[in-house]
A and B are shown apart, each in its own frame.
Chain A
Amino acid sequence: MAPERLFTVEELSVHYNKVTALDRVSFGVDRGDFIALIGVNGSGKTTLARSILGLLRYQKGRIVWHEDVEIGYVAQHTGVEDRNFPATVEEVVASGVRKSKPLPKWLNRHDKTHIRRMMEYFDIDAIAKKRIGALSGGQYQRALLARSMVMQPDVLILDEPINSLDQGSQKNFLDLLKQLNQEQDLTILMITHDVAGVEPYATRILYLETDLLFDGTFDEFCETQMLSPYIHTHPRRYGRGCS
């Protein structure tokens, strides 16, 4: 059976003043894909993600949605978020459930049950009343993931979600994403610098350098002669797994 196409990016170009951030980027995303979007700093990864999310206006090209697709988003955890922001984990997670509700978007019993179940799934129910700024990096990212997942999205876009996490938390977070990808057929597009780290998880690699230089599997990526020198000169960043 042919994979179900969710959306297609066609000849997408973005310019900031006279600087080209994205140059005629084209690719399609199918339901169930787990895509690692890689590239050096300034290669247009975040610009591409924000364009898909509708947070940025692109000048040329288009994004074709093949069906009514709900998108979730987990932003980069920098570790310098406002630690004093007065909100509980539960309040943050609940803010994801309200999209489809009519104003004033007050929660009913069904919503509260859904939120509680989601917090249990992501193992943050015990810290539901804790201040969001008091969480560890791993807990914080799980809370943001839960906030997106209560929306029951078809696609989840993550912008370097594991950058500031320790190795153990990184693995736990990626395991959780794989579980969502396989159990709930969640389509994932994740920006990352750690190609080798996502090798066991990602089914596709998109390599961006203003234009899209590569779109394929991890093994194909390692075999690509055009990219090999680059990978080997940046082994820490672009893959111990390509040796």
Chain B
Amino acid sequence: MSNLEQLLRAFEYGYMWRALLVGVSVSISSATIGSFLVLKKYAMIGHGLSHVAFAAVAIGLVLNQAPLLFSLPLVVLSSIIILKLNHTARLQGDASIALMAAFALALGTVLVSTSGGFNVDVYSYLFGSILTIRQTDVYFAIGFSVAVVAFLLVYFTQLFSMTFDEDFARITDVKVSRLNMVLAILTGVTVVVGIQAIGTLLISALIIFPIIIAMQFNRSFKGTVGIATVVSIASVVSGLLISFVIDFPSGSTIVLLNSLVFFIIYSLRTILGVR
């Protein structure tokens, strides 16, 4: 069977459709929220939260419960704690994220080792396994991405203002602390929603790569966020389909595709001398 035939066959499977729907939903929320996070120098928050998600998955596996049940409250709570630590605990920059990530990874590893080590279940959560996506996950992912888009449409200008200049945003009555909190919570939910399609350890890449790639095009803020969203959707859809054809882990394929696109665009910019 040729690769093209195999690619077309992908659409005959229900799990593939579920993966694509969840993937597109996650790519929209991760690219848009990621745009603000990266430009606010919070790029690593997704990385930290993905480690927390790993610990939450480990807790679920140890207790023989659905891992995502634990992930959502734990990851959202951690995102709020990271934000609070950053502002109150005299921790510089991303130190609170590193602190949280290291703690969560250590906890997750200990829990996994007590429950039989790194088996197939654990690997599927670490690197993504589209076979585990259920219909309810699809509904949740779509609902969440619609909520994210609605939030951004209403608060886009305020988010832009505080991303560019937090002090100026404050004096123009933008509720900076409240919006930062909402961003942190949305990031936490994005990480959890993306666990099955992308995996806990690679979901942060989907927050960072699209905006970094989009920034190479020197567009306006709106244009850059738009390009980031398109890049994100394209990389997730093509990554899922390629991973189906060549039987690679979905998350790894998506991240490698993003890396390749970034490398090509960055190299072209450098060669052509675009500033």
**A-side interface residues toward B, CB under 8 Å?**
50, 53-55, 71, 73, 75, 82, 84-88, 90-92, 95-96, 98-99, 103-106, 129, 131-132, 134, 147-148, 151
As a 0/1 sequence over residues 172 to 185 of chain B, the CB contacts with chain A under 8 angstroms (1 = contact) are: 11000000000000
Q: Are B172 and A86 in contact (CB under 8 A)?
A: no
Contact of A104 among B157, B171, B223, B275 (CB under 8 A): B157
- 22 residue pairs of the A-B complex, CB under 8 angstroms, read A53-B167, A55-B167, A71-B171, A73-B167, A73-B168, A75-B168, A82-B39, A84-B215, A85-B164, A86-B215, A86-B220, A86-B224, A87-B164, A92-B164, A95-B161, A95-B169, A96-B168, A99-B172, A103-B155, A105-B157, A106-B157, A131-B218
Q: Which 5 A-B pairs have the closest CB atoms?
A: A86-B224, A99-B172, A87-B221, A95-B161, A104-B154
Residues of A with C-beta under 8 A to B275? 134
Asked if residues A53 and B222 are in contact (CB atoms below 8 Å), the reply is no
B161–A98 touching, CB < 8 Å = yes
Which residues does chain A contribute within 8 Å of B171, judged by CB atoms? 53-55, 71, 73
Q: Decide if the interface of chain B is mainly helix, strand, loop or mixed.
A: helix
Please judge, given known A-B contacts A86-B214, A99-B173, A105-B157, whether A91 and B167 are in contact too, CB under 8 Å: no
Shortest Cβ gap from B205 to chain A (Å) = 19
Given A75-B167, A99-B173, check contact A105 B158 (CB 8 Å): yes
Contacts of B224 in A (CB 8 A): 86
Residues of chain B from 202 to 234 with CB closer than 8 A to chain A in the complex: 214-215, 218-224
Bound-state CA distance A82–B224 (Å) is 15
Q: How far is the CA of A141 from the CA of B239 in the complex (A)?
A: 44
Task: A71-B171, A75-B168, A106-B157 given; name 16 further pairs at CB < 8 Å.
Answer: A54-B171, A55-B167, A73-B167, A73-B171, A87-B160, A87-B220, A91-B221, A95-B168, A96-B168, A99-B172, A103-B155, A104-B154, A104-B155, A104-B156, A132-B164, A148-B168
Q: Name the B residues within 8 Å of A103 (CB-CB).
A: 154-155
Given A75-B165, A86-B215, A87-B164, does the pair A98, B170 have CB atoms closer than 8 Å?
no
User: Separation in Å of the A178 CB from the closest CB of chain B?
Assistant: 23
> Would you call B170 and A54 a contact (CB within 8 A)?
yes
- Residue of B with least CB distance to A130: B218
CB neighbours of A132 from chain B (8 A): 164
Contact check: which of A50, A84, A88, A95 meets B220 at CB < 8 Å?
A: A88
B271 is an interface residue with CB less than 8 A from chain A: no
- Closest CB-CB distance, B114 to chain A, in whole Å? 44
Q: Give, as a whole number of angstroms, the nearest-CB distance from B1 to chain A.
A: 44
Chain B interfacial positions (CB closer than 8 Å to A): 39, 153-158, 160-161, 164-165, 167-173, 214-215, 218-224, 275
Chain A residues, CB < 8 A from B219: 86
Given contacts A54-B170, A55-B171, contact A91 B220 (CB under 8 A): yes
Please give the distance in Å from B193's CB to the nearest CB on chain A. Answer: 25
B41 → chain A, closest Cβ, in Å?
Answer: 9
CA A87 – CA B162 in complex, angstroms? Answer: 13
Nearest Cβ on chain B to A106's Cβ, whole angstroms: 7
* Contact pick for A96, options B158, B172, B223, CB 8 Å: B172
List the B side residues contacting A91 at CB < 8 Å.
Answer: 160, 220-222
Kindly report which residue of chain B lies nearest to residue A74, judged by CB atoms.
B168
What's the minimum C-beta distance from A185 to chain B, rounded to whole angstroms? 20
Contacting pair A104 B153 (CB below 8 A): yes
A86 to B163, CA, bound (A): 11
The chain A residue with its CB closest to the CB of B166 is: A55
The CA-CA distance from A148 to B169 in the complex, in Å, is 11
By beta carbon, the residue of chain A nearest B156 is A104
Report B218 CB to chain A, min CB distance, Å. 6
- Shortest distance in angstroms between A99's beta carbon and chain B's nearest beta carbon? 4
A221 to B65, CA, bound (A): 75
A155–B222 alpha-carbon span in the complex (Å): 31
Contacts of A73 in B (CB 8 A): 167-168, 171
| A-chain residues with CB within 8 Å of residue B158 when the two chains form the complex | 98, 105
Residue pair B160, A151 in contact (C-beta under 8 Å)? no
Chain A residues with CB under 8 Å of B172's CB are 95-96, 98-99, 151
- Check B170–A55 contact: CB distance below 8 A: yes
Q: How far is the CB of A147 from chain B (nearest CB, A)?
A: 7
A131–B218 alpha-carbon span in the complex (Å): 7
Docked-complex contact B215 and A95, CB < 8 angstroms: no
A96: which B residues are within 8 A, CB to CB? 168, 172
Q: Write out the residue numbers on chain A whose beta carbons fall within 8 Å of the beta carbon of B164.
A: 85, 87, 92, 95, 132
